[in-house]
Structures are given as structure tokens and as C-alpha cells.
Structure 1
């Protein structure tokens, strides 16, 4: 992305400068940490998906695709960057420089496309789960087509830039030539980094809007329930219109609190006394005591809400946790790349110090290793799967230690 001498005409691939002589060791340490943490973390993510049956869902396939893109960067590209920082010189030659630049932007493009797919799938689950289009996209075949398309689109986007991948001294790595590729490179950066990430943000904004509508509908449901039994049907319609599914696969669910169930019990008792029902006592019309489906009866008809409070609450909570985790992954991507992008937009003439360019580039490295840490902190299933993998990996060492200990005794 920076102006540079064509490596085919000049064998010098040096990025040495008095201003970065000391800073390069910081880059080496940071890059080594990214390589280690990112490689182990993303491999554990893939293995967790492969070994844990509860994680083998169609949505988690998107998480694995993101991990593969990060694994490509951490295993193949980051060690090469560390070597360049250590020697302040590119030691791979012109051909490997071009291959490196292509793989670098392929990894970035697949990550952005996958983030878009993750946000889109979250939105479809919230707003259009029962539609034919959503079912087609979220089917096994649909997800497989989307994943393959993400890699093919990345290859088709950045393969044409093969002749102009060159060494960029400002960041001591290889990238495409900033001026020779215009306007194609400008369009690509705009589509991926600005329009693509903007679409991700838009999807999460729509999800937030739907969740707010669901919360308002539930509040209206509670108020109408307290005022009169005749408004149960209206409350149910309001909830369905807000994007909450009503089947067994409900994702966003209405949760009835125990306090409200208690109020309903007390009110039923009062009604029984007032109407003089002293002969036979029917079962209490309590939401809390319902084992499966919840049935509310009124004089004209009966209205059924098909989500149990306990199951619905768990599904709702799990959906919110997963969506919050995905949104955090997106935010981390933006935070890591924002300084890098803004600097290149503002410093079109490369007047900023080299150390500033290198530091902003170093922040972008973190994106490839931070996702597994987020999964471990924000997702209980991945966290447990990581623990199981670590126990299995350390089992031979613990067996040797126990065996050695017994022999010593």
C-alpha cells in the first residue's frame, strides 16, 4: 500500500532506519507473542469444533472459517514478519514477497467476509428465521456455499494484483504498490474495509433494534396481562410481530418472572372465592406450575404460548451471549485496523515517521490472535472444550510425573 521501489529492479529490501533500530525489538516480541497465542488458540478452536459434538453447529462453522483465516496469518505470515523486523530486511526474495502480499490480503478479506456472514446469520435468526430465504441460507448446503464463496471471492479480488505486490519499507513487509494499482486497489479497500465492515455494523444495529422491539412488546404483554385476561391474544400477536419465533426452536423468548406468576396465583384464589367455587377445586392457573406449554384460558377461547419460561429464558440468555461475543469480535477487528487505515488515508504522502506506520501495523497483528481469547471468556461451550483439550494434551505429562513419582517413592 506504500510507494516503494519495484523489487524486480532493485535487490534492496531493507527497511533499516535510525528511528526504528530500537523499536524493532518491540515488534519482534509482539509478533512472536501473536504467532504463539494465535497459532495455539486458533488450532484449539478448530479442534474444539471437531471433537465436541455440542459445538458442531452450522453457525460455529463460520467461527471455524474465521479461525482458519487467522491461522493462515499466524502460522505462515506472522513469523516472516518477525524475521523482517529482526533483521530490518526482507530475506525472501521477490517471488515470496508477491506470494506473501497475496496471502496477507486473502486472510484479511476472508476475515471480513466471515464477519459479515456471522452478523447476517445472527440477524436472520432474529428477524426472518421462518422465511424460506433464511432457511435456505442457514441450511447445511447454504452455509457450505457461503464458506467456499468467501475464499473464492478473496482469491478473485486480490489475485489480479500479483504483478504489483512489492516490499513496503514503511512497515517492513510486503504489500501491493499504492499508486500502480489504482483505482482498483482503492475500490477494493473501500469495498472490504469500509463498506464490508459498515454492513457488519448495520446488521448488529438491526439486531439491537429487533431486541428493543421485543423488549417493548414483552412490556406491553405484561401490562395487558395484568389489566385483563382478554388481552392475552393481543400480547401474543405483539410478541410475534417483534421477531420472536413461536416454535420449539425459538431463539428470542418471552420470560415470565416468578413474581408475576405469584400475582396470578393470588388473583385466581380471589376469583375462586368471589364466584363461590366451593365444591370442586380445579388446578391453579399458574404459569410457574406449567410443566411444558403455557395455556391461558379466558371465557371466549383459549390462547397458547408455546415457550416454557425456563427453556425460553435459557435460549434467550444463550442467544444474547453468542451475539454479544460476535459483536465483540467485530469491535476488536475494527479497533485493531482503525489506526492502520486512518493513518494511510491521512498520510497519503508518507510524511509520518516510520515508527508510527510500524506501530499502527503492529496493532493490526493483534486481531489474528485475540478471537480465541474472546471465545474462552464469553462462550461457556468453547471454554469447556478448551479445558478438555488442555487436559488431554497434558495427560501424557501428568502420567509421566505420576509414574516418576511412584518410582521415587
Structure 2
């Protein structure tokens, strides 16, 4: 018996193929740029590369699974479906946590720059990555031991954790995996916004040279870029969160369930575009990594605005960061 009509299958496959191409190329471009362009190899950019790697796995594995279901028009087997549900829970969990880590790194960079180099280190990034994977694995492994926690979602043509099978599991998952990281991220950007606004007048009064103003603008652009990525994430995952909170599956139309999973996939496709549009330095890094332009020869050294904003002594840092 066929699961879906021809019109639904064709529409979903077209969107899936487009997002697969864009998402794969875009996330590979981020990773390639950060690993090949020397000036982009900063600790903060390591977090961007890790987020891109998670998005690449979401696009590279989860979407083809759904496309396979649409092409065969058959429900996947028990083993394949359970494995898909486990991977989905793991990757979605890791994605929001890395967005939180990026926000925290910006928070320490702007608000506590004297502690930044001590806190945001390669070692701590590795520890944070292991921690994120551990949290994701904790929830994902539950789906292996308890069959009632995962299901084949017909409107999503995907196997995911059963949002309606166990209210307790769903509430804990949404609170720990979605709400807590989102709250920490929002808190970080609110503190950054308040900190920068408070220091803006004092900065312009005491540091009215062009280099300081340029550095200040540069830090603002970096922060705004990551803030936009966070806002886009929340918007894209909003339908999924709505359909996962209370009620029954039948309380929401099938089209909303389908839209929710595709918006989650879309979020993993567009980060590279957001970085390119909002961050001139990342955009230049793209072009350098693809050899469209020559590597930047400038290495201007200016006072760090973040150090001044934190109330510490001014130091020096290169403007060529990611």
C-alpha cells in the first residue's frame, strides 16, 4: 500500500533536493574556509566549524533518509527506523548546544575579555564538544532501550522521538535540549547588548581614533551575525516545538507537521548564507578559500574594544579574525 500521493512526494522531493544541495555545499564551504584560510583559524571559528559539521550531518544523513521513504513510498523497517530516530535526537540536541557555546564565547569576548583567553581555549572547546555529545547521546540512547519513545512520523516521512508517546520524556527533552540552551543564549546576547550600549558613549569619548572605531564596529558585526543565526534557529524550530508541547498528534494538521521538519532542515542549510551576507570577513574568507581572490596581506593591529568595554587595560589584537 502506498503511503503518499504523487503530488506530495514530488513537492517534498523537489524541496529536499534543493536544500540538500544548498546545505551540503554551504556547510562544506564553512568548514573548508576555516580550515584552509590561516587567519580564520581562531578558537571561536572552531565552534562555527563544529556547528557546520552538525548541520552537514543533518543534511547529509537525515534528509536522504526521508527522500528514500518518499521514493520507495514505503515505511522503513524497524531497525533502520530506530537508528534514524536515535541519530535525529542526537544531532538536533548537539545543534542548539553549539549555538549556545558560540553565544557564550561572544559573551566572554565582549563582557569579560580579560578572562576570555583563559576560558575560551582549544581544550575547553573540546570539553564542551564532548559534553554536548554526551547530552545528545544520553537522550538518543533512551530511544534504543525504550521502543515507546520513538515512532515513524507519517506527515514528516521520518523516524523521530515520539513527542506524544511519553509526556515526561518530551517535557524533559524540550527543557534540557531546547529551552535551557536557548535561555542561556538569549541571556548572553541580552548582556552583550546592555554592556555595549552602556560603554558606547564612553568609548567614543575616550577612543575617537579611526582604528578603535573600526574594531568596535567589527565586534558588533560578529555579535549581530551570531545573534541573527540564533533568532533564525528559534524561528525555524518554532513549529516543531509547538507541535511537541502537549495535545495529540491529531490536534495539528498534517501540513504543520510536514512544515515543521522541513523548517528544521532549512535551518541547517542557511547558516553559511547568513555568515556570507552579514559578515564581510567571512565572505572574504569564502572567496579566498575558493581562490577567487588572493589571501589578505594586511594584518592591522588595533586596540581591542572588548578589553576596553570590560574595564580592563587596552591590549592589541589583529582585526583578521572570523
Range into which the TM-score falls when normalised by the shorter chain: 0.7 to 0.9
Q: 43, 60, 66: which one pairs with 2:28?
A: 43
Instruction: Please name the residue that 2:245 is paired with.
Output: 345
Q: List aligned pairs for 1:35-184, cutoff 5 A.
A: 35-91=20-76, 93-131=77-115, 134-162=116-144, 163-164=146-147, 165-184=150-169
Distance 1:40 1:171 in 2: 24
Instruction: Please name the residue that 1:25 is paired with.
Output: 10
Instruction: Please name the residue that 2:307 is paired with.
Output: none
Q: List aligned pairs for 1:244-323, cutoff 5 A.
A: 255-256=207-208, 309-323=209-223
Q: 344, 359, 371: which one pairs with 2:259?
A: 359
Normalising by structure 1, we get a TM-score of 0.66
Could you tell me whether the CA contact under 8 Å between 1:41 and 1:369 is conserved in 2?
yes
Distance 1:40 1:123 in 2: 30
- Structure 1 pair 74–349 and aligned structure 2 pair: CA distance change class (3 A): closer
Instruction: Please name the residue that 2:295 is paired with.
Output: none
Greater share of helix: 2
Q: 159, 172, 189: which one pairs with 1:187?
A: 172
Distance 1:47 1:153 in 2: 27
Q: Helix, strand or coil: the match of 1:89?
A: coil
Corresponding position: 1:385 with 2:285: yes
Instruction: Please name the residue that 2:228 is paired with.
Output: 328
The offset of 1:367, in angstroms, is: 0.5
The offset of 1:317, in angstroms, is: 1.4
- In structure 2, the gaps of 5 or more residues are 293-322
Instruction: Please name the residue that 1:403 is paired with.
Output: none
Could you tell me whether the CA contact under 8 Å between 2:85 and 2:143 is conserved in 1?
no
Distance 2:217 2:47 in 1: 21
Between the two proteins, the alignment pairs up a number of residues equal to 289
Cα offsets for 1:161-212 (capped at 9, x unmatched)? 2233321113211012334444133201122222221221111111101011
The offset of 1:89, in angstroms, is: 2.7
Could you tell me whether the CA contact under 8 Å between 1:15 and 1:88 is conserved in 2?
yes
Distance 1:349 1:101 in 2: 17
Distance 2:7 2:189 in 1: 42
Distance 2:141 2:3 in 1: 26
Could you tell me whether the CA contact under 8 Å between 2:243 and 2:249 is conserved in 1?
no
- Structure 1 pair 211–369 and aligned structure 2 pair: CA distance change class (3 A): same
In angstroms, what is the RMSD of aligned CA positions? 2.1
The offset of 1:33, in angstroms, is: 1.1
The offset of 1:156, in angstroms, is: 2.1
Distance 1:349 1:68 in 2: 31
